[in-house]
A and B are shown apart, each in its own frame.
Chain A
Amino acid sequence: MDKMVPYPSGAIVPERDVEKTPILETHHLGIDFGGLTAVDEFSITVGRTEISGLIGPNGAGKTTVFNLLTNVYQPTRGTIMLDGKQTAGKTTAQVNRMGIARTFQNIRLFSNMSVLDNVKVGLHNSIKEGFFASITHSLGYGKAEKKANERALQLLDFFSMADMANAEAGSLPYGAQRRLEIVRALATNPGIILLDEPAAGMNPSETAELMENIRRIRDTFNIAVMLIEHDMSLVMNICEGICVLDHGKIIAKGTPDEIKSNPAVIEAYLGKKKEADGNA
């Protein structure tokens, strides 16, 4: 793991990314639902190939942050810069095309479609096939579909899922459904992928495999990964930078070691200060 070093702004990123524009930057991001402030003063910086974690107790607003980053919700305050460009006023689909992809806490696959078609939906914007090619099955349809099939199979193969290509997505075992969601998100060719509780419901060996896969995603696709996770061993193992959220506010930011020993974090998780055993 690279050393974490500060930008001039003070935000820390892995040393290898410090020369480049951060993939994701938020400034004083906040959203209110009615009178309730769900997220407030959320400012983070994510390096181009950084694996970062977003943790916090239940109801802290972690998924709300993901929804803000993908413009599912429009922020009440603050700005989001994706690859140096503002995302304000864009739709979720447009923000995806700008380079942010995500998975969901409760799996959202196109369950009646085949595994292959799920990935091909992810490839949607990289397939060159217009409306008239679609309805006539000519004008480049064959070439576009062939290319899409090849690319989809290649991506599935990356997660050893190529043999399931023709199965119905809804019929896959739970772990495979989670993997397929990641493949589909990767198919959109993002610069950063947001994983919402990727290890939820997984056993230790599946979690270990997932950890390995997250590293492979970063190394192979050369992209940033940001994840929400309750499995602390996973977070502490693979995340380079961690951000802790409680009641919609950031209570701590830093490397895994800094977070482990942060009294505010321990208090947020355990209620009040007790002897810290290092695993929070």
Chain B
Amino acid sequence: MSIASKYKALSKFARTNIKTYGLVIIAFAIMFPLQSAGMLNNSISGQLVPICTYIVLAVSLNLTVGVLGELSLGHAGFMSVGAFSGVVAAAAFQDSVGSDPLRLLLAIIIGGIFAGIAGLLIGIPVLRLRGDYLAIVTLAFGEIIKNIINCLYVGLDSKGLHFSLKDTASLGMTNGRIVLNGPQGAVGISKIATFTAGFILILFTLFIVLNMIYSRTGRAITAIRDNRIAAESVGISITKYKLTAFITSAVLAGMAGALYAMNFSTVAPKKFDFNTSILILVFVVLGGMGNILGSIIATTVLYMLPELLREFADYRMLIYAIVLILVMLATNSTKAKQITENLKLKIKGIFIHKNNNNDGGEVTDNG
């Protein structure tokens, strides 16, 4: 059998895996040597870690919006929880854990755990709501998190961590340093995030999300999206699986948030506002609901776009918006769909033609 027909004979899960992991690994294999050889200009190499985190955010949000089918507008809130708990964790382990990658790993895990707890706390009351109501409550949650962290002060001295919601003075430290400084956010972060760590986090996210979609858990979640009443009638606990999807999504967003924060020396809470949630949602919608590969591509392209449009100076956000609208129209109009279908058929035609030349009628038996 030729490679093309072998590929077609694989299960949908295997094909999705090959496409998705393949793209990510190839992209890393190209970018990593360029980055380590210093051949990328500053603006691009500075975007590598943020792109990785936004890919993780988009993929994880796709689990809630695309696979579970519930609109969440508070994804930046989970990112924020992960970012700041990660920063505090990294600061706390500064002396005890010497190795940077290990400290980063700890920060990411703790960021994920705290975001997961936030996901659980918000998910239990909120997932009883549906549609617009859920969207509004998650939006409010994002704002609440932002405002809490805005007045959260955390300091570190020889006695350990100190927390306050008032000001730095009430932390009661004599020596030691401030880790979170209210509206200024996290200050003096040791920049330990690397492109490789981002790449590994993307692989981890894909592993969790893709495996989950093609499993008993994923089927239950998709069933709830397709028809909630029917899913209930076959014995699927709606709350349990909605929470599963929501918390998994929150944990991954928290991990991404921790990685994101470790890429900068200061991170302010207002960075994780409503606009950031919407930005991630735009990546998901443009990439296609439930389409993980689409999320990855849309995130990369749309995140780089403002950079590439820099020469248009003041007009770049205007052009960005126009491009968004055009892509939206192109992917949703029936005519555009027809054109892509025709293209697909033509490409398939070429392959089948080749196969027939190579190994006769063998291709006909794999449906």
Listed in ascending order, the chain A residues whose CB lies under 8 Å from chain B are 70, 72, 91-94, 96-97, 101-102, 104, 108-113, 117, 120-122, 124-125, 127, 129, 131, 133-137, 141, 144-145, 148, 166, 184-185, 187-188
Given known A-B contacts A108-B230, A110-B222, A137-B211, A121 and B217 have beta carbons under 8 A apart: no
Contact A188 B232 (CB under 8 A): no
Contact A93 B236 (CB under 8 A): yes
Given known A-B contacts A110-B222, A113-B222, A137-B211, A131 and B229 have beta carbons under 8 A apart: no
B191 interface residue, CB < 8 Å from A? no
Q: List residues of chain B with CB within 8 A of the CB of A111.
A: 226-227
Contact B217 A131 (CB under 8 A): yes
The answer, among B208, B219, B232, B235, for a CB contact under 8 Å with A135, is: B208
The answer, among B219, B222, B235, for a CB contact under 8 Å with A125, is: B235
Q: Which 5 A-B pairs have the closest CB atoms?
A: A134-B215, A96-B235, A134-B217, A110-B226, A108-B230
Q: List residues of chain A with CB within 8 A of the CB of B72.
A: none
The answer, among A70, A92, A135, for a CB contact under 8 Å with B215, is: A135
Given known A-B contacts A93-B236, A110-B222, A135-B211, A144 and B230 have beta carbons under 8 A apart: no
Cα A76 to Cα B155 with chains together (Å): 58
B43 interface residue, CB < 8 Å from A? no
A192 CB, min distance to chain B CBs, angstroms? 13
Contact A93 B235 (CB under 8 A): yes
Q: List residues of chain B with CB within 8 A of the CB of A135.
A: 207-208, 211-212, 215, 217, 248
Q: CB-defined interface of B235-249 with A at 8 Å, one 1/0 digit per residue? A: 111100000100010
Interface pairs (15), CB distance under 8 Å? A93-B232, A93-B235, A93-B237, A93-B238, A96-B233, A97-B235, A108-B227, A109-B227, A120-B216, A121-B231, A133-B216, A135-B207, A135-B208, A145-B215, A188-B235
Residue among A92, A120, A129, A134 with the most chain B CB within 10 A? A134
Q: List residues of chain A with CB within 8 A of the CB of B254.
A: none
Q: List residues of chain B with CB within 8 A of the CB of A122.
A: 234
- The dominant DSSP class at the A interface is helix
User: Could you tell me how many residues of chain B have their Cβ less than 8 Å away from some Cβ of chain A?
Assistant: 28
* Other A-B pairs, 4, CB within 8 Å; known A109-B230, A121-B223, A141-B215: A101-B233, A104-B233, A110-B226, A125-B235
Q: List residues of chain A with CB within 8 A of the CB of B154.
A: none
Cα A131 to Cα B215 with chains together (Å): 9
Q: CB-defined interface of B177-219 with A at 8 Å, one 1/0 digit per residue? A: 0000000000000000000000000000001100110111111
Cα A52 to Cα B292 with chains together (Å): 47
Cα A125 to Cα B214 with chains together (Å): 17
Given known A-B contacts A108-B227, A135-B208, A188 and B217 have beta carbons under 8 A apart: no
Q: List residues of chain A with CB within 8 A of the CB of B216.
A: 120, 124, 127, 129, 133-134, 144-145, 148
Cα A212 to Cα B237 with chains together (Å): 33
Q: List residues of chain B with CB within 8 A of the CB of A72.
A: 229, 232
B220 interface residue, CB < 8 Å from A? yes
Residue among A70, A102, A108 with the most chain B CB within 10 A? A108
The answer, among B207, B215, B234, for a CB contact under 8 Å with A133, is: B215
Cα A145 to Cα B229 with chains together (Å): 24
Cα A109 to Cα B230 with chains together (Å): 7
Cα A136 to Cα B210 with chains together (Å): 10
Cα A96 to Cα B223 with chains together (Å): 16
Q: List residues of chain A with CB within 8 A of the CB of B214.
A: 137
Cα A187 to Cα B235 with chains together (Å): 11
The answer, among B218, B227, B237, for a CB contact under 8 Å with A91, is: B237
Cα A144 to Cα B226 with chains together (Å): 23
B8 CB, min distance to chain A CBs, angstroms? 13
Q: List residues of chain A with CB within 8 A of the CB of B218.
A: 134
Given known A-B contacts A112-B222, A134-B217, A185 and B212 have beta carbons under 8 A apart: no
Q: List residues of chain B with CB within 8 A of the CB of A102.
A: 233
A87 CB, min distance to chain B CBs, angstroms? 13
Contact A92 B233 (CB under 8 A): yes
Contact A187 B244 (CB under 8 A): no
Q: List residues of chain B with CB within 8 A of the CB of A96.
A: 232-235
B window 12-27: CB within 8 A of A: none
Residue among A121, A129, A141, A144 with the most chain B CB within 10 A? A121
- Nearest chain A residue, comparing its CB with the CB of B229: A108
B window 244-285: CB within 8 A of A: 244, 248
Cα A166 to Cα B233 with chains together (Å): 23
Contact B220 A121 (CB under 8 A): yes
Contact B234 A188 (CB under 8 A): yes
Cα A93 to Cα B240 with chains together (Å): 11
- Nearest chain A residue, comparing its CB with the CB of B213: A134
Cα A72 to Cα B227 with chains together (Å): 14
A170 CB, min distance to chain B CBs, angstroms? 9
